[in-house]
Structure 1
Amino acid sequence: MIKQFEKYRGIHPGIVLDRELKKRAIKQRPFALSLEEHPQTFNAITKGKRGISTALALKIERELGLKEGTLVILQAYYDIKKIKEKETKKIPDLNILSKALFWDTDIQHIDWKRQYRAVIQRVFERGNENDKKEITHFYGTEKVKQALEESNIRSPYTIYRSNKTTD
């Protein structure tokens, strides 16, 4: 991969391609047609909404004079980044948490990382001992203590020790 593109690791190759076309003052539609590609497909790629195939990447690289494999490698790095994001997007064990705790929301759409204060507060105000243990295990003791202090919930609640570390 060309060193100038090394800094784009993890960014969708279509975004990089769009920037490269603008830098060279090349219009998308005529460029797509010159490659015998549908302009709509090409547009979706440059917006980052669609992946770039190896065959198309090779055509583009040849046409723009880029080193062979540059866009394919960028696509691979982007795919790796997306997989890692999915892997790190963990949730607590929903089989342990009481369903009644989150009666007013779709539990599948909770952003557990961003909404941790509200989740911890709700569980420690309304949850049973198993709910509290699971949330403490998920977030870690320090994060639970911090969230309870910030929300002015003081002990009588037991904060369970967890071996889990927080981010």
Structure 2
Amino acid sequence: MNKQFEKYKGIHPGIILDRELKKLSIRQRPFALSLEEHPQTFNAITKGKRGISTSLALKIERELGLEEGTLVILQAYHDIEKTKRKETRKIPNLNILSKSLFWDTDIHHIDWVKQYRAVIQRVFERGNESDKNEIIRFYGTEKIKQALQESDVRNPYTIYKSNKPKLPNDIL
């Protein structure tokens, strides 16, 4: 792969292709037609909404004078990066958690990593034992201790008057 493209590892190859076309003052539609490719497909690729096939990548590389395999390698790195992001986005077992805990939000859009304090606080204020056990399993006891010590129970949505939510005795 050309050294100028090394810095783009993980970025969708269509976005890099779009930059190259703009740099060379080549319009997408005529370029797509010259490759005997549908302009809509080509546009979806340059917007990063669709992957690039090996055969199309080779055609584009030949036409633009890029090193053979550059776009395919970029696509592979993008796919790897996308898979890594999916793997790191782990969530607790939603079948165990009570639906009423997160009644005011779409539970599938919660960022369990960034919003851990609010999640832990809510579960330990309002959840039942199985909710608490699932959150303990998911975050671990140290993170829960830290979150509950840092949490401010006087938040407007808090219904309890106690100073701190209580942890099960086996955690303390």
TM-score range, shorter chain: 0.7 to 0.9
For residue 75 of structure 2, what is the aligned residue in structure 1? 75
1:106 Cα offset (Å): 3.3
Shift of 1:156: 5.1
User: In the alignment, which residue of structure 1 is the partner of 2:103?
Assistant: 103
**Rounded Cα–Cα distance in structure 2 between residues aligned with 1:63 and 1:106:** 47
Extract unaligned runs of 5+ from structure 1: 162-167
Q: CA RMSD in A?
A: 1.9
For structure 2, which runs of at least 5 residues remain unmatched after alignment? Answer: 154-162
CA shift, 1:73, in A, is 0.6
* 1:111 Cα deviation from its structure 2 partner: 2.3
- SS of the residue 1:79 aligns to: helix
Deviates more, 1:10-19 or 1:82-91: 82-91
Question: What is the 5 A alignment of 1:81-100?
Answer: 81-100=81-100
1: CA distance, partners of 2:6 / 2:140: 36
Q: Name the SS of the counterpart of 1:158 in structure 2.
A: coil
8 A contact 2:121–2:165 mirrored in 1 = no
CA shift at 1:3, angstroms? 1.1
| Residue-pair matches, total | 161
Q: TM-score, normalised by structure 2?
A: 0.84
1:43 is aligned to 43
For residues 15-34 of structure 1, the aligned pairs below 5 Å read 15-34=15-34
Q: Which residue of 2 aligns with 1:138?
A: 138
> Which one is further off, 85-94 or 125-134?
125-134
Residues in 2 aligned to 1:40 and 1:152: alpha-carbon distance in whole angstroms: 52
Q: Does 1:158 align with 2:167?
A: yes
Structure-2 residue corresponding to 1:149: 149
Partners of 2:34 and 2:145 in 1: CA distance = 61
Question: Percent identity between the aligned chains?
Answer: 80
Report what 1:125 is aligned to: 125
Cα deviation per residue 1:43-81 (whole Å; 9 max; x = unaligned)? 110000111011100000000111111000111111111
